[in-house]
Amino acid sequence: MKPDEIIEEILSITNPILSKDIEERNNFPVGFTFYHVLERVNFNLESIRVLVKDGITKHEHAIGLLSRNLLSDFITTGYIIRLSKSDEEFYVRLYSLYDSDLKKAKSFLRLYLDAGFIDSAEVEKYNELYNDENNIFKQIRDYCLEFDVKKFPQTNDIINKFFESDLNDLWTEQIKRSYDTWAFLSKYEHLGWHSYDFTRTVDSQVSEIRLNSVLFKTTIMAASCLELLKEKDAMESAVRLNKAIFDFYLKRI
């Protein structure tokens, strides 16, 4: 299967779900989170589709950055779903994700306030929102205080947890293997020697294989989102697509 074919198949499964106002999307944190992940899958794939059509080699850099975004979500959701040993742990990790994000925003505002780029009124406005009893921020903060929720782990820490686990299945194996590509594609994002070295030669066949690998992992992520959103038919379609891609790999490797 070619990358553009796989992308079209994934979008044909996810677009109908995102085009309707399903009840689960308002269920925080579970339905809300995995509906948003599904949105992010579509946002990235729509852009990759345009770039692939114009030339996978020509747009290798941009496709690599978008692919890394997909892999970041794949690793994050894999950690929340696959390594949670109970419903309580599942919820704790979801709230940890949101709490860590909110704290980053507060840290950003504090940095700009100290530098004189914003005034205290702007910070106070955010703090009022943060402490508003009717705002989701307050719900997140209260939950994290009650259950002593820790900071969400970094990507390398998540991968290490998977290496240390005794899980042995396709999903877990793909998460472990995703780190290699995720780290490689980080050189497309960050300036340094390897950002120079890794982008000197672009091989169209290697680029296609790499992208197909990312898309294979994306179908796993999409299927998991659809399952949690209780969209059984769409989930089964994603699983069938995943198997088709996997069979394609067996013929190539």
d(CA 29, CA 167): 25
CB 33 within 8 A of CB 229: no
Residue 230 phi/psi, 5-degree rounding, is 65, 35
- Which tokens is 203 given? 């091989």
- Profile the chain (253 residues) by mean pLDDT over runs of 10 residues: 95 96 94 98 98 95 97 98 97 97 92 93 86 89 95 97 94 96 92 84 88 96 98 97 86 50
pLDDT tens-digit map of 169-198? 999 999 999 999 999 999 988 888 888 887
Residues 48-85 as b/e (b if ≥16 CB within 10 A, e otherwise) read bbebbeeebeebbeebbebbbbbbbbbbbbbbbbbbee
- Which tokens is 152 given? 């969400």
Closest CA to 234 of 245, 244, 224: 224
Secondary structure percentages of the chain, helix, strand, coil, to 5: 80, 0, 20
pLDDT for 93: 98
User: How many CA atoms are closer than 13 Å to the CA of 253, on its beta-carbon side?
Assistant: 11
- DSSP annotation of 151 reads P
d(CA 7, CA 52): 10
d(CA 212, CA 69): 15
d(CA 239, CA 232): 10
- Distance from chain centroid for Cα 202: 25
CB 46 within 8 A of CB 67: no
Closest CA to 234 of 46, 44, 20: 20
Longest dimension (CA), the chain: 62
Domain ranges of the chain: 3-83+165-252, 86-153
d(CA 39, CA 33): 10
- Which tokens is 227 given? 């399952």
pLDDT for 59: 95
pLDDT for 104: 93
pLDDT for 201: 78
pLDDT for 182: 96
CA quadruple 59, 60, 63, 65: dihedral sign: negative
